Structure 1
Amino acid sequence: MNDRNDTTARRSILLAPGEGRHYAMGSISATFKADGAETAGGYSISEWWLEPHTQGPGAHAHPEDDIFYVIEGIMSFLIGDEWIDASSGSFVLAPGGVTHDFENRGDSRAGVLNFSHPGDFERHMPDIADWFSAHPPGPA
């Protein structure tokens, strides 16, 4: 049994800085800290890092909420049809179904902590990494 209310199958996680499941995608990288299997499908948590002047994944929407917390630099976010710049310490919520994107338009590396709710977003990462391999991110 592995439903959300069954905590007996779950275990604690402690990861040192930089640890997790890594996905290198050219000038973008992602490191998954906790995923659907570890959170009983509740959420996924990942770090996303973009080198200076790097486009993100492109405008997209999905049913899951995407929650971002900027941990370093300035990240530009598309929410609906408006671009906003978010500096370190900023919080951004893209509700499920809302078109969104992110990119680093600045001169320094930028990173966000991403929460995807509900979880299991990471099952898409092999295909996303393959896509970026075939279509490297362009300049922002």
Structure 2
Amino acid sequence: MGRIGATFKADAAETGGRSSVSEWRLEPDCAGPGAHRHEAEDEVFYVLAGQPSVLVGDTWHRLKPGACVYVPAGVMHDFCNPGAEAAVLLNVFIGAGFEKDMPMVSAWFAENPVGAAPEAAG
């Protein structure tokens, strides 16, 4: 059961409210945040390292470094790392503001430790 962490590289204040950029590191055998959707914002995931899986709609995609996935607003999505090595994703959130929720997200993860990656992703 791996851990997950994020570092924000650019936020709404730095992009004029247009986007935010974050880097997500998922340790081996790490579940993600759980399937969710953002009603008004698009997301792009770009794989920097490892082989994470990304859910878009009802389909899991196993990705390699250099792969890119676009998630339109309103589409259910998730990400995880079912692999044996750490995975690193660059996330571009188009329509900034997600970062303001990070203290709440961090508190949620502290209270709800991430479990094993879902079998469907492997």
TM-score of Structure 1 vs Structure 2, range by shorter chain: over 0.9
Q: Whole-Å Cα distance in 1 between the matches of residues 52 and 41 of structure 2?
A: 21
Bigger radius of gyration: 1
What displacement does 1:68 show?
0.6
Deviations 1:24-82 (A, max 9, x none): xx711100000001111010000000000000000000121010100000010110011
* Alignment: residue pair count: 115
Query: In structure 2, the residue corresponding to 1:129 is in which secondary structure?
Result: helix
Query: In structure 1, the residue corresponding to 2:116 is in which secondary structure?
Result: coil
| Counterpart for residue 93 of structure 2 | 116
1:103 aligns with one of 60, 63, 80: 80
Instruction: Report runs of 4+ in structure 1 exceeding 2 Å deviation.
Output: none
2:35 aligns with one of 59, 65, 68: 59
Kept in 2: contact 1:66–1:96 (CA 8 A): yes
Q: Is residue 2:5 matched to residue 1:38?
A: no
What displacement does 1:120 show?
1.5
Q: Whole-Å Cα distance in 2 between the matches of residues 92 and 108 of structure 1?
A: 20
Query: In structure 1, the residue corresponding to 2:75 is in which secondary structure?
Result: coil
Identity of matched residues, %: 50
Query: Unmatched 5+ residue regions in structure 2?
Result: 118-122
| Counterpart for residue 120 of structure 2 | none
Q: Whole-Å Cα distance in 2 between the matches of residues 39 and 84 of structure 1?
A: 30
Q: Whole-Å Cα distance in 1 between the matches of residues 46 and 59 of structure 2?
A: 18
TM-score, with structure 2 as normaliser: 0.92
Deviations 1:100-134 (A, max 9, x none): 00000000000100000111110010000000000
Kept in 2: contact 1:74–1:88 (CA 8 A): yes
Kept in 2: contact 1:51–1:110 (CA 8 A): yes
Q: Whole-Å Cα distance in 2 between the matches of residues 49 and 66 of structure 1?
A: 17
Query: Unmatched 5+ residue regions in structure 1?
Result: 1-25
Q: CA RMSD in A?
A: 0.9
Q: Whole-Å Cα distance in 2 between the matches of residues 78 and 39 of structure 1?
A: 27
Residue 78 of structure 1 aligns with an amino acid whose one-letter code is L
Higher relative contact order (CA 8 A, sep 6+): 2
Query: In structure 2, the residue corresponding to 1:59 is in which secondary structure?
Result: coil
